[in-house]
Amino acid sequence: MQAQCTVVHSNPKTRNVSLILVPLLQAYESCLQLHEARSRFEEFCVPICVLPATISNNVPGTDFSIGADTALNAIVETCDRIKQSASGTKRRVFIIETMGGYCGYLANMGALAAGADAAYIFEEQFDIRELQANVEHLTEKMKTSIQRGLVLRNENCNENYTTDFIYQLYSEEGKGVFDCRKNVLGHMQQGGAPSPFDRNFGTKISAKAMQWISKKLKETYRKGKVFANTDDSVCLLGMRRRNLVFQPVAELKNETDFVHRIPMEQWWLKLRPLMKILAKYKTSYDVSDSGQLEHVAMHSPKEAETGAI
């Protein structure tokens, strides 16, 4: 897969050009390079907008990327079919490998939605002791009425604890209690027809990006040509909570781990303890988190005293 670059507006007479980049993370990096090269090449001083579109959901500055929801639906549907295949077989554990590079979004959220017992991701390192604890949990689970298990693993979660290694470990430690099967989903998890969320999200950010591009072209048009050299003329349009926000890529540079191609902070990591709780692990977890209600308008003390709204 390669990043796509679209010339949204081009006038050969006035040399007015604007760009919309629809990336994997490569287009985001390319956008940063174009921004940094503006001081040397005047031709790059044009409005540029980046739209996040990758199933890995690893683009910084946005909670969701186009395609991630469709891929997640495909993973959950596949997991449901795999679990259904075990309805006539007792005491079986499935090891499933998902895509996503170093980003564990698909593995983590797929495990939550499919009711998995564990999900191994790069962002939360694990060792042999955790693998042993998961095997012991599954051994106890086989004594209950639900005699099947599901474990998801991100493709790059650990270079040594591979899918084959985890499969062999579970098969050996569960010998006589449960048997094990493995499944590498591969490119089938990229899905077919896009989900309603992706269609709606893609339409919204595309329309908003075009409005932003048109506005920037008018603001930066000087002496017969477009000259945009400010940081806010190279932006990424992302979803922050429920709002679509334009964020300068220069500001997002410090929020990105370019080595592993993931954001420094990811909102879905806070949901990790829920998986263990739903899987009924015998332990305690603190899942409290201070937050602010988005739909409640917060007023200053002075406004409260004067009754101002």
pLDDT in tens, 231-243: 888 888 889 888 8
pLDDT-derived band at 21, boundaries 50, 70, 90: low
Structure tokens at 142: 């086989």
List the domain range (segments joined by +) for residue 177.
69-191
187 and 240 co-located in one domain: no
* First-to-final CA distance of the chain: 50
Question: What is the predicted pLDDT for the residue at 11?
Answer: 47
What pLDDT is recorded for position 23? 58
Residue 309 lies in a domain: no
Higher-pLDDT residue of 307 and 17 is 17
Tell me the pTM. Answer: 0.81
For residues 121 and 182, membership in a common domain is answered with: yes
Long-range contacts made by residues 224-230, C-beta under 8 angstroms, separation at least 24? 224/14, 225/14, 225/15, 225/16, 226/14, 226/15, 226/16, 226/17, 226/18, 226/45, 226/46, 226/47, 227/42, 227/45, 228/45, 228/46, 228/47, 229/38, 229/45
Tell me if 151 is assigned to some domain. yes
- Same domain, yes or no, for 116 and 60? no
Same domain, 124 and 153: yes
286 within a domain of the structure (yes/no): no
184 in the same domain as 80:
yes
Domain count, the chain: 2
Supply 270's token pair: 């806070």
pLDDT above 80 for 287: no
Q: Is the pLDDT of residue 19 over 70?
A: no
